[in-house]
């Protein structure tokens, strides 16, 4: 006879392990840091307010 509790317990634990592995922050990072990744659809646009300010300063310095 099949022990349904044992099957449910082991499959539940495997599901929890897979869930935790799938949502790790460093899953796709090669260098192991939690730094934000570049977004290809934002190419050419600064990502943060500080970078926007730095870009604006560079543009005024060049003019």
Cα–Cα distance for residue pair 59/7, rounded to 1 Å: 64
How much is the pTM? 0.41
Q: What are the domain boundaries of the chain?
A: 1-26
Distance of alpha carbon 34 from its chain centroid, rounded?
Answer: 7
pLDDT digits (tens, 9 = 90+) for 7-56: 999 999 999 999 998 888 776 666 655 556 666 666 666 556 666 677 67
């Amino acid at each position: 006879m099949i022990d349904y509790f044992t099957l449910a317990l082991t499959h539940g634990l495997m599901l929890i392990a897979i869930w935790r592995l799938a949502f790790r922050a460093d899953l796709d990072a090669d260098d192991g840091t939690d730094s934000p990744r570049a977004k290809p659809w934002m190419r050419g646009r600064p990502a943060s307010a500080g970078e926007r300010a730095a870009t604006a300063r560079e543009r005024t310095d060049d003019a």
